[in-house]
Amino acid sequence: MNSVNSVTTDDRTLLEIDDLTVAFGDGAGSVRAVENVALSVAAGEIYALVGESGCGKSTLAYSMLQIVPPPGRVIGGNVRFRGRDLVTMSKRELNALRGAELAMVFQGAMNAFNPVVTIGTQVDHILQAHPEVFPDPKEGRQHFEHLLELVQLPPKRIWKSFESQLSGGMKQRVAIAVALLLRPSVVILDEPTTALDVLNQRLVIDILKDLHRDLGVTIVFVTHDLAVVAEVATRVAVMYAGRLVETGTVEEIFKAERRHPYVEALINAIPSVLDAGLTVQPIGGAVPNLADLPAGCRFAPRCRLAEDLCRHTEPPLLGDGGGHLVACHVVNRDVVPMEVSKA
Amino acid sequence: MSLLDVRNVTHTYDTGTGRPVLHNVDLSTQEGEIVALVGESGCGKTTLGRLIAGLHEPSSGSISFEGSDIAGLKGKRRKDWRRRVQMVHQDPYGSLNPGLTIGSTLAPGMLRHKLANRRTVQAEMIKLLQQVGLDATPVFLQRYPHQLSGGQRQRVSIARAISLQPKLIVADEVTSMLDVSMRVAILDLLLSFQRDRGIGFVFISHDFGVVRYFAQGGRIAVMFYGHIVEEGPVEELIKTPSHPYTHMLLQAIPVPDPVLVRKRDAEGGGSERLTGDPSTKGCVFSNRCPLVRDVCRKEAPPLIDIGSGHRTACFFSDEIPPLKHLTADEASPQPTRS
């Protein structure tokens, strides 16, 4: 089963996570927010990390920049960017990558700005901190103006604004433009549409697609909203209680065949505006406490398919020949275990 | 007699701009009815909810509850109205006092309105916890809000509202701060009170998916910068929107099906003019409207009935295109539901 947790690289692979475990706390009181997770993000993908609150998706995203907040720390595995391991990298090397190669838009980007200086001044500070990207700050400012146009904001007005003069939706878009300022190859967004109204959600969705198309930037985003996943993502990883339970293309995840029961339950819980939204079903129970995990499959206590095997043996993440992997004993019953090489 | 009658209400906050947040709003609800207020952030839906709940007084116009203007209520009748209209707020992290235990949160209202006394209040509170699906034990009453999850807190807020046996609950974005997986359970809980106790709801949300699920059989009022621009029965309004703003909101909703997403995108209709200030002359929506003509910039269209209680404020309501990707026969086969 070890093969499941290691990933082979091809030329397009940008980010590679290999058997990663992130723990919070020490000794007996420690919990693993992310456990033995492997996935790889290829250049040009829009990769979604999905799950309920507390499933480890944000921690996984933070580990991609090595900014897991203490007492959290990586206790096993690697995070490689273009083949270089970030886990063992020096602080100086990491700082050179952050922002310039790997950028992040944090959850609640509305609160990410300094309230007492203008947006323009804050952008100038970033340009000064990374003179290697734009030796001439004028060029950097021009680039930022261009980015503001891409996120459909008026550059002149935004440059002079204080954050209190912008709406929540505008701030989210400014935060996205700031993340792209140093031309990173990967931008990671934590819940980019949460707390926005429907029209601003739509705007952010369309903008992410535009930026992906026009700038060729690779996007990783964290969300609990499967409707946003269906709109934006090309590839999806679903997490539950620190584990990957299903990964595949967006079509594979939403297709009814061979789907993890957790993913099915998540999809059936969305009160969407479609006719099917009228027959939604809540998911009973809650994500287990990481300090007190059930034996066997972590989803078993809430699962409609659970049987005895599920209650004492953790299911491996298995493919059926392609990149679509599912960690479920019942769904995988007919799948012949085989070498899986790519998540 | 309507349960609630909002008549010609205009409201201005004292901010110096003088721009009203509500313009001549009319709305009425019957006993046990669900009316959803839908619109983007800043459209005035929360303000209208707060006026209905009596948290502010309208600058002009009147709000009547069970036939009496609430501005004129005094003494016992005022206290009675206060009890019969309750509110559940959006943010379960902000709407519970962090220094009060759950017991101290729930007890004072019931004592004040003599729905329990010192001797019975504990048993009444435990009954409430059970009704909202919380751990119905004396220990739970000793807990503080920070010890609870978002979903649990929202249930406490709901318990606080129903503890006073209201006739109407103003529910302001009650699920927007919760995980998608929790939303349906909270909506079902509120619906059970509508069904079993005939409690009416003014349900505020920007999410048509949540509204369609919650307000089945009820009505939707769509608001744009202080104006009700369309109002009608839930299914009719969603299937045949008659105002371009309603159409825009429906078109914008993320659809949880990648096949439908591609189909809709192929039909066209991008995100131009999704945001922008309201027009100060003519139709309030004319700055953003894809169907705008000269007349719209000069004259404001009145909210008129287009049949069976469906009202719209648009001169060209018959030109609104259907939303093909949302109608059943066009949709891809849905995955089997358990």
- pLDDT tens across the length of chain B (338 residues): 799 999 999 999 887 777 889 999 999 999 999 999 999 888 899 999 999 999 999 999 999 999 999 999 999 999 999 999 999 998 888 899 999 999 999 999 999 999 999 999 999 999 999 999 999 999 999 999 999 988 899 999 999 999 999 999 999 999 888 877 788 889 999 999 999 999 999 999 988 889 999 998 899 999 999 999 999 999 999 989 999 999 999 988 898 899 888 888 887 665 567 877 888 889 999 999 989 999 999 999 999 999 888 999 999 998 888 777 776 544 444 444 33
CA distance A140 to chain B (A): 27
CB pair distance less than 8 Å for A304 and B338: yes
Q: Nearest residue on chain B to A255, judged by CA atoms?
A: B335
Of the candidates A53, A200, A271, the beta carbon closest to that of B183 is on A271
From B183, B250, B270, residue closest to A273, measured CB to CB: B250
The residue of B155, B179, B327 whose CB has the most chain A CBs within 10 angstroms, and thus the best one to mutate to test that interface, is B179
Inter-chain touch A202–B252, beta carbons under 8 Å = yes
B80 to chain A, closest Cα gap in Å: 35
Alpha helices in B19-162 (DSSP H): 45-52, 75-84, 102-112, 121-131, 138-141, 150-162
B63 — phi, psi (to 5°)?
A: -125, 120
Testing the interface with B: which of A53, A198, A260, A331 to mutate, by most B Cβ within 10 A?
A198
What's residue B330's pLDDT? Answer: 42
A203·B275 Cβ contact <8 A: yes
Tell me the chain A residues in contact with residue B41 when contact means C-beta distances shorter than 8 Å.
167-169, 196-197, 200
Instruction: Give residue B333's pLDDT.
Output: 44
Tell if the CB–CB gap between A201 and B212 is shorter than 8 Å. Answer: no
Collapse the DSSP code of B334 into the 3-class scheme (helix H, G, I; strand E, B; otherwise coil) and give the result.
coil
Residue B37 in 3-state DSSP?
strand
Is B39 in contact with B227 (CB distance < 8 Å)? Answer: no
Distance CA A306, CA A294 (A): 13
What is the sign, positive or negative, of the torsion defined by CA atoms of B27, B33, B38, B43?
positive
A266·B180 Cβ contact <8 A:
yes
Residue A277 has pLDDT above 80, yes or no: no
Q: State the nearest Cα–Cα gap between A130 and chain B, in angstroms.
A: 34
Chain B hits for A152, CB-CB cut-off 8 Å, are: 275
Scanning every residue of chain A, which has its alpha carbon at the shortest distance from the alpha carbon of B246?
A199
Higher-confidence position of B163 and A270: B163
What are the structure tokens assigned to A33, written together?
């927010």
Collapse the DSSP code of B146 into the 3-class scheme (helix H, G, I; strand E, B; otherwise coil) and give the result: helix
How far B83 CA sits from the closest chain A CA (Å)? 31
Is A107 in the B-facing interface, judged by CB distances under 8 Å?
Answer: no
Q: Above pLDDT 90, what percent of chain A?
A: 63
Longest CA–CA span in chain A (Å) reads 65
CB of A279 within 8 Å of a chain B CB? The answer is: yes
Pick from A231, A256, A275: CB nearest B254: A231
- Please give the pLDDT value at position B334: 44
CB contact under 8 A, A267 and B40: no
Which has the higher per-residue pLDDT, A243 or B332? Answer: A243
Residue closest to A257 by CA, chosen among A313, A320, A201: A320
Dihedral over alpha carbons A113, A117, A119, A123 (to 10 degrees): -90
List CB contacts of B274: < 8 A, sequence separation 6 or more.
Answer: A199, A200, A202, A203, B248, B252, B288
A270 alpha carbon, distance to own chain's centre: 20
Question: Would you say the pTM of this structure is higher than 0.80?
Answer: yes
Q: Which helix (H) or strand (E) holds B85?
A: strand B85-88
> Is the N-terminal amide bond of A71 cis, ω within 30° of 0?
yes
Evaluate whether B103 touches B123 at the Cβ level (below 8 Å).
no
Confidence of residue A337 (pLDDT cuts 50, 70, 90): low
The 3-class SS string of chain A reads CHHHHCCCCCCCEEEEEEEEEEEECCHHHCEEEEEEEEEEEECCCEEEEECCCCCCHHHHHHHCCCCCCCCEEEEEEEEEECCEECCCCCHHHHHHHECCCEEEECCCHHHCCCCCCCHHHHHHHHHHHCCCCCCCHHHHHHHHHHHHHHCCCCHHHHHHCCHHHCCHHHHHHHHHHHHCCCCCCEEEEECCCCCCCHHHHHHHHHHHHHHHHHHCCEEEEEECCHHHHHHHCCEEEEEECCEEEEEEEHHHHHCCCCCCHHHHHHHHCCCCCCHHHHHCCCCCCCCCCCCCCCCCCCCHHHCCCCCHHHHHCCCCCEECCCCCEECCCCCCCCCCCCCCCCC
- Chain B contact for A264, CB < 8 A? yes
Show residues of chain B in contact with A197, CB under 8 Å: 40-41, 206
Alpha helices in chain B (DSSP H): 45-52, 75-84, 102-112, 121-131, 138-141, 150-162, 180-197, 208-214, 234-239, 244-252, 258-267, 294-298
Per-residue pLDDT tens over the stretch A122-158: 999 999 988 888 999 999 999 999 999 999 899 999 9
Residues pairing with A23 in the sheet: A32, A73
**pLDDT of A307-321, one tens digit each?**
999 999 999 998 887
Residues of chain A neighbouring B179 (CB-CB closer than 8 A)? 52-53, 224
What is the H or E stretch that residue B169 is in? strand B168-172
Is A205 an interface residue toward B (CB < 8 Å)? yes
Q: Is B165 left (phi over 0), alpha (psi -120 to 50) or beta?
A: left
Of A249, A124, A135, A273, the residue nearest A198 (C-alpha): A273
* B326 or A227, higher pLDDT: A227
Of B238, B275, B328, the CB nearest to A169: B275
**Cβ atoms within 10 Å, residue B149:** 16
The CA-atom distances, in angstroms, between A313 and each of A327, B34, B122 are 11, 47, 44
Q: Do B216 and A266 touch (CB under 8 A)?
A: no
Nearest Cα of chain A lies from the Cα of B247 at a distance, in angstroms, of: 12
DSSP of B102-126: HHHHHHHHHHHTTSS-TTTHHHHHH
Q: How many residue pairs from chains A and B have C-beta atoms closer than 8 A?
A: 158
Interchain pair B257, A168: CB under 8 A: no
Strand partners, B63: B6
- Cα Rg for chain B, rounded, in angstroms? 21
Nearest to A271 among B149, B210, B335 (CB): B210
For B73-99, what is each residue's pLDDT tens digit?
999 999 999 999 999 998 888 899 999
Q: Closest by alpha carbon to A270, among A204, A225, A219? A: A225
If contacts are CB pairs under 8 Å, which of residues 223-262 in chain A contact chain B? 224-231, 250-251, 254-256, 259
Report yes or no: A24 and A214 within 8 Å, Cβ to Cβ: no
Residues of B in contact with A264 (CB under 8 A): 335, 338
pLDDT at B270: 57
> pLDDT at residue A62 above 90?
yes
Q: Which residue has the tokens 């998706």?
A: A57
Q: How far apart are CA A284 and CA A302, in angstroms?
A: 6
Pairing type for strands B311-312 and B227-233 reads antiparallel
Q: How far is B42 from chain A (nearest CA, A)?
A: 10
Cα–Cα dist B284/B24, whole Å: 13
The complex scores an ipTM of 0.85
Q: What angle, rounded to 10 degrees, do the helices at A168-179 and A137-150 form? A: 130
Predicted pLDDT at B25: 94
Half-sphere exposure of A2 (CA within 13 A, CB side): 1
User: Which candidate from B183, B206, B270 shows the least CB-CB separation from A197?
Assistant: B206
Residues of chain A in contact with residue B258, where contact means CB-CB under 8 angstroms, are: 230, 250-251, 254
Contact: B184, A202; criterion CB under 8 Å: no
- So what's the pLDDT on residue A156? 93
Partner-chain residue, chosen from B187, B254, B257, that has the shortest CB–CB distance to A201: B254
Closest chain A residue to the Cα of B245, Cα to Cα: A199
3-class DSSP state for residue B38? strand
Contact A17, A77 (CB under 8 A): yes
Contact yes or no for A224 and B336 at CB 8 A: no
Are B158 and B189 within 8 A, CB to CB?
Answer: yes
- Of A193, A256, A282, which has the smallest distance from its Cβ to B335's Cβ? A256
Q: What angle do CA A87, A83, A91 make, to 5 degrees?
A: 35
**What are the two backbone dihedrals, phi and then psi, of residue A244, each rounded to the nearest 5 degrees?**
-75, 130
